[in-house]
Structure 1
Amino acid sequence: MSARHAASPGRRDEGRAQPAGGGDGEYTTYYGRPVVKAPPWEVDIPAYMFAGGLAAGSSLLAAGGDLTGRPALRRAGRLTAAGALGFSMVALIHDLGRPERFLNMLRTMKLTSPMSVGTWILSLYGGPAGLAAASEVARWAGLRRGPFRLLAALDRPAGVAAGLTAPPVAAYTAVLLADTATPSWHESYRELPFVFCGSAAAAAGGAAMILAPADQAGPARRLAVGGAVAEVAAEQRMERSMGLTAEPLHHGKAGKLMTAAKYLTAGGAALSLLAGRSRVAAVTAGAALLAGSACTRLGIFEAGIASAEDPKYTVVPQRERLRRGQPVRYEG
């Protein structure tokens, strides 16, 4: 959208939006339309981001469990990763409308497009993660002959490959959000990948604490606590760096979700310290961390939509950039 389309019916100042009547009042635009257009995404996208992060963290845990002789942790991680990956793909395809649209994105690779790069990252990760899960099921069913012999041979290489390709899966959705013109997403570009990676680690650790026995879930507990601490610390730093555009994170539906995320994540991390001695604590901590991670994704999603609907979050930061002599882009 051009600069002149951001003007207010209350007053003009070189074509930029002004509070009606001047001053610091409510910002309005021609016909009451937003300065930037919010992405037409629904709840499918935060669900896709949460499940993708859970899958990535679980593959890391599964690879570690395999290499350190923890078969129950390996099994829990691989099956969780496969289930979460399948759910995320269903959510993504549902948002796209038709399955072939996902396949069409694989016809080329555009390095300047986070969506294109993310599609390839997800595809490179999905193959090994699926093979590792299939090998786990074949092992459980006692299938070791014929084609299943090859599957057994690929067991560890597939698991390690899934673990190595997992971190970009957890981080790229943050880059996807920050690459848009949506104010609260765009201004969080520095810290949002760290928030999402910490959230993914906390969720994966929580899921493994629920599924794996306590004597093999030590790495899951440590990953859960470390991920929770990283998520909370990165989110606090992100809010400070975002300036005015952090406001939507504290108000309305987004504010409630982000508050719930903080309490659930902190509470789950605290309970994780007791999970090695209490099965009830392990399950409760795991459930809290999973719920906290989901609330974080949904809260950030809702905050971005709210920031796009209010012209203030586009206009005021742009004015600050003009005062500092920085370039300003007007986008629709």
Structure 2
Amino acid sequence: MTEQRATRALGGDGTREQRAVPKATFRSYYGRPVLKPPVWEWLIPAYLFTGGLSAGCAELAAGADLTGRPTLRAATRLGALGSLAASMYLLVADLGRPARFHHMLRVAKPSSPMSVGTWILVAYGPGAGAAAVAEVLPRRLRRTLLGRIIRKAARPAGLSAAAVAPAVASYTAVLLSHTAVPAWKEAHRMLPFVFTGSAAASGGGFGMVCAPVSEAGPARRLAVGGAVVELVVSRELERRLGLIGEAYRTGKAHRLRAWSEYLTLGGALGTVFARRSRAVAAVSGLALLAGSALQRFGVFEAGVESTRDPKYVVVPQRERLDRGEPA
């Protein structure tokens, strides 16, 4: 009782001065954002999706090649190259000038996610391209010496692309988390797993759409595994982020991610019936592709929203300072 009176006499927090005003709360000048919102447009989340799809297709194509599934192999090899080309187009379109991508090849900076990502694409692209070219060779060219060389090189090229594919699927998450955007930066531990699972689900969905049911077994298994990883880690991400998780649970980001969950879960459940029905396989595959795309757009919108409200910037910094960590 004596200690309580002494504490009240000291001001309630151990100081010798009585508080004249309540403890200050954060606010920004005129309520304006502390950070500038990202200037990126829809091209960037589309680029994130197509890059992940290419990686998922490359993994599936290598497995189809090793297990003797020619239709699935051809479809996913072409899908890997086509989505990679789309991804590069979207990236260059956002950069504004193709020369800017070329300039990034002048140096290699291990400390820069953008530089590392550029070189990952350089390592991945030739293998994916060579494997896809082998699938579209005209018959008359296949019998020539050049045709035989290309077809023999297709397997090692496809395997090399598959070896780099996990990095292609996840490096974009690392790129986002190295920005100052709170919803991306605070999710740096889990965002790569969300993107990698989403890439696997989309690659499996693509294989289910393009391959006959008899060959699509690996595609169904990849789709289910990727969907489970994406859904579980995505929910865990929202839970662990605390206050910043609101950016994922509210507004446009929440709507996009909710639809992503419905479509991904529906597509994964559809694989049970896709073993017998080509139509169900196609619908399930399209649902997985749409769910993967919406996941990227949802994450993008969450990042934009987290820069608009000052609390997502100030509160986590104060909490880190209170714990004695760098802001």
Alignment TM-score > 0.5, same fold: yes
| Structure having the higher Rg | 2
**Superposition deviation, residue 41 in structure 1:** 1.0
TM-score of the pair, normalised by structure 1: 0.89
Work out the CA distance in 1 between the residues paired with 2:176 and 2:223: 24
Q: What is the identity, as a one-letter code, of the residue corresponding to 1:119?
A: T
**Superposition deviation, residue 250 in structure 1:** 1.7
SS at match of 1:69: coil
Structure-2 residue corresponding to 1:280 = 279
- Number of aligned residue pairs: 306
Work out the CA distance in 2 between the residues paired with 1:167 and 1:46: 18
Structure-2 residue corresponding to 1:197 = 196
Structure-2 residue corresponding to 1:149 = 148
SS at match of 1:154: helix
Cα distance, 1:306–1:53 mapped onto 2, change above 3 Å: same
Structure-2 residue corresponding to 1:253 = 252
SS at match of 2:77: helix
Deviates more, 1:168-177 or 1:35-44: 35-44
Q: Which runs of structure 2 are paired with 1:265-276 in the superposition (5 Å)?
A: 265-276=264-275
Q: Is the 8 A contact 2:174 2:192 kept in 1?
A: yes
Structure-2 residue corresponding to 1:177 = 176
Cα distance, 1:141–1:50 mapped onto 2, change above 3 Å: farther
TM-score of the pair, normalised by structure 2: 0.90
Cα distance, 1:267–1:31 mapped onto 2, change above 3 Å: same
**Superposition deviation, residue 148 in structure 1:** 2.6
Structure-1 residue corresponding to 2:79 = 80
Structure-2 residue corresponding to 1:239 = 238
SS at match of 1:268: helix
Work out the CA distance in 1 between the residues paired with 2:140 and 2:170: 34
Structure-2 residue corresponding to 1:53 = 52
Gaps of 5+ in 1: 1-20
SS at match of 1:240: helix
Structure-1 residue corresponding to 2:217 = 218
Q: Is the 8 A contact 2:130 2:150 kept in 1?
A: yes
**Superposition deviation, residue 150 in structure 1:** 2.4
Work out the CA distance in 1 between the residues paired with 2:102 and 2:136: 27
SS at match of 1:83: helix
RMSD: 1.6
Cα distance, 1:315–1:157 mapped onto 2, change above 3 Å: same
Structure-2 residue corresponding to 1:293 = 292
Structure-2 residue corresponding to 1:137 = 136
**Superposition deviation, residue 286 in structure 1:** 0.3
Q: Is the 8 A contact 1:170 1:197 kept in 2?
A: yes
SS at match of 1:138: coil
Structure-1 residue corresponding to 2:186 = 187
Q: Is the 8 A contact 2:141 2:147 kept in 1?
A: no
Q: Is the 8 A contact 2:238 2:249 kept in 1?
A: no
Q: Is the 8 A contact 2:114 2:175 kept in 1?
A: yes
**Superposition deviation, residue 240 in structure 1:** 1.7
**Superposition deviation, residue 236 in structure 1:** 1.2
SS at match of 1:215: coil
Q: Does 1:70 align with 2:69?
A: yes
Structure-2 residue corresponding to 1:5 = none
**Superposition deviation, residue 155 in structure 1:** 1.1
Q: Is the 8 A contact 1:138 1:144 kept in 2?
A: no
Cα distance, 1:31–1:23 mapped onto 2, change above 3 Å: closer
Work out the CA distance in 2 between the residues paired with 1:184 and 1:23: 25
Q: Is the 8 A contact 1:28 1:311 kept in 2?
A: yes
Structure-2 residue corresponding to 1:15 = none
Cα distance, 1:165–1:36 mapped onto 2, change above 3 Å: same
**Superposition deviation, residue 40 in structure 1:** 1.7
Work out the CA distance in 1 between the residues paired with 2:229 and 2:242: 21
Cα distance, 1:63–1:141 mapped onto 2, change above 3 Å: farther
Q: Identity of aligned pairs, percent?
A: 56
